[in-house]
Amino acid sequence: MKPYIFSAILLTAVFAASNSHAQSKSKGFTKLFDGKTTKGWHTYGQDTAGEKWEVTDGTLHFNPKAGNKGGGDLVTDKEYSNFHLKIDWKVAPKANSGIIFYVHEDKPKYGATYSTGLEMQVLDNEGHPDGKITKHRSGDLYDLIKSNSEPVKPVGEWNTAEIISKNGKLELKLNGVKVVQTTLWDDQFKALVAGSKFANWEGFATFKTGKIALQDHGDEVWFRNILIKEL
């Protein structure tokens, strides 16, 4: 066999294997963001997405300087119970945001997504004041559990977050590293809540089905490759 023919066959095999691996990794996941529109999302307590949420270059970009109609936390139209969420994020310098889940959307009763939902923190650890607060850094289960390591990438670089929740067993991953593991809603978890800023918040972390939210904290942040698998 001629060398160039062998090389072509080898490259084809490698590409096929790589493609098969990529397909297997994404098997069972569906897109929550189509990369072109805010379809499937709306601002908490409203019907549509605030215009500060821009779709640019395949990303959901919160631009605090855009538009006059505000932004607000973006939430999914659909609710989820047991799920595996994957999402890429990056922040501008000194920025704060979050990925919030098990959000019960009832704005008259619960004024914000974080009134009910749990949050995986998204932050410029070194540039934002929250970075100096334990349990408020990137990857933490906000104000409840400190991440066991900090595999976060520098400001301006993409991070991949994963939230896996099944029958109360919760895992948070950041860039492939498991950073938080806990059991939701049991007595130990209730004690964590009782020792947090949320201790007297009626309804906080009590819902076992809810929406997923991307936080408008007034700072510039980008999200992309938002995928979910229902478990």
CATH code for the structural domain at 32-230: 2.60.120.560
Lowest mean pLDDT among 5-9, 81-85, 170-174, 180-184: 5-9
What is the distance between the alpha carbons of residues 128 and 125, in angstroms, rounded to a whole number?
A: 6
Kindly tell me the burial class for residue 21, based on how many C-beta atoms sit within 10 Å of its own C-beta (0-12, 13-18, 19 or more). exposed
* DSSP classification of residue 163: E
Give the pLDDT of residue 9.
Answer: 44
Furthest CA-CA distance within the chain: 75
Query: At 72, phi and psi to the nearest 5?
Result: 85, 160
Token pair for 63 = 């631009």
Specify the higher pLDDT residue, 20 or 58: 58
For 129-181, the pLDDT digits (tens) are 999 999 999 999 999 999 999 999 999 999 999 999 999 999 999 999 999 99
What is the distance between the alpha carbons of residues 102 and 212, in angstroms, rounded to a whole number?
A: 6
Does position 83 have pLDDT exceeding 80, yes or no?
yes
Map out the domains of the chain as residue ranges. 1-28, 32-230
* DSSP classification of residue 44: T
Q: What angle do CA 108, 111, 112 make, to 5 degrees?
A: 140
For 29-67, the pLDDT digits (tens) are 999 999 999 999 999 999 999 999 999 999 999 999 987
What is the distance between the alpha carbons of residues 58 and 75, in angstroms, rounded to a whole number?
A: 18
